[in-house]
Amino acid sequence: MSTFSVVDIPNMAGKTVIVTGASSGIGLATAHALACVGARVVFAVRNIEKGSAAAAATAGVTEVRELNLASLDSVRAFAANWDGRIDLLINNAGVGGPELSRTADGFEMQFGTNHLGHFALTNLLLEHITGRVVTVASQAERAGRIDFDDLNWERKPYQSFGAYGQSKLANLLFTAELQRRLSAAGSGVLATAAHPGYVATNIYSHAGHPPSGLSAIMIRLLAQDANMGALPTLYAAVADIPGNSFAGPRHFAHMRGAPMLIGRSASAQDADLARRLWTISEQLTGIHYPLQPILERA
C-alpha cells in the first residue's frame, strides 16, 4: 500500500504559497514543509508577533502578513496589498469554541471565520492564483447542517459543535462550487479540501477552555501531532488528484495515518445546496466570484 509523506512533496523553488493561520498547529507544520522544499511561504496571520516568531523558526524563504479572517476589512486589505502570482492558497485557519461570539462584521465566529473569511479571501485573490486552493475542512461536516433561516445563530439556542459542523460543511460546499465555477471558466486552477484527522492542536483550547477529563485523555492517547495532521493538506496541495477531492487520514475512521482520498456526507455533495450557499455568501460578504464562464466570454 503506497503512502504519502513529506518526502513526496516536489521541489517548489520559485513557487509562492499563502498559508492562513500559519503561526501554530497544522498551519505551521504545512508552512514548514513547503518552505523546506523551496517555496516562498507567506504566513497570513492574525497575530504578527506570533507569526514572525513562527516564520523565524522556519527554514527557507518566509514572509509574514497580517490577516484577520474575522474581519472583512482585514481580508480586503490583505488582498488589496497583494501583488504577484500565487501558486497555492491554503485556507487553513480555523476557530472553535464553546461560547457564542461574533466577528467584526457580526457573523457567528465559526461560520464567519472558517467559511466566510476564506470565501472572501479566495475570491479577492483568485485572479492571482495559478495552482490550487486547498481548504481545511473536517469530518465534523457530517454533523453539520446549513440553516439558511438562521446562519448566524441569532434566534436559536447556540450549540458550539453544531456551529462548527455548519462551518466545516460550508468549507466542503465552497470547495465543490468553487471547482464547478473554475471548470466553467476554463481555468486550470484546482479546488481541493483536506481533513487533518484527530490532531492535538490549540483549537481544543480556543477561548481559554482547555480540554479536560475524557477529552484530555483521548487527545493524549489517540491524537496525532501537527506534522501528521498536516499531511492531508499537503497531499491535497501537491498530489495528482482531481479538483473537488477531499483528503484525510487513512486509518481509525480517517482520524489517523497517512493521507488518502475520503468520502463526504450527502449534504456535502449537494450541488444545489452548494450554489445556494455561494449566493448567500456573496450577499453576506459583498464579495463576488471574479471569473466569467466560457460561454459568457464567447
Q: Which of 164, 204, 235, 289 is catalytic?
A: 164
Whole-number CA gyration radius for the chain: 18
**Residue 164 annotated among the catalytic residues of the structure:** yes
Calculate the alpha carbon distances from 59 to 33, 92, 130, 179 in Å.
9, 20, 25, 33
Pick from 213, 231, 169: nearest CA to 26: 231
Pick from 87, 193, 75, 196: nearest CA to 131: 87
Reported for 287-291, long-range contacts at CB under 8 A and 24+ positions apart, including other chains, are: 287/72, 287/119, 287/120, 287/123, 287/124, 288/123, 289/123, 289/126, 289/181, 290/123, 290/126, 290/127, 291/126, 291/127, 291/181, 291/182, 291/185, 291/187
* Residues forming the active site: 164
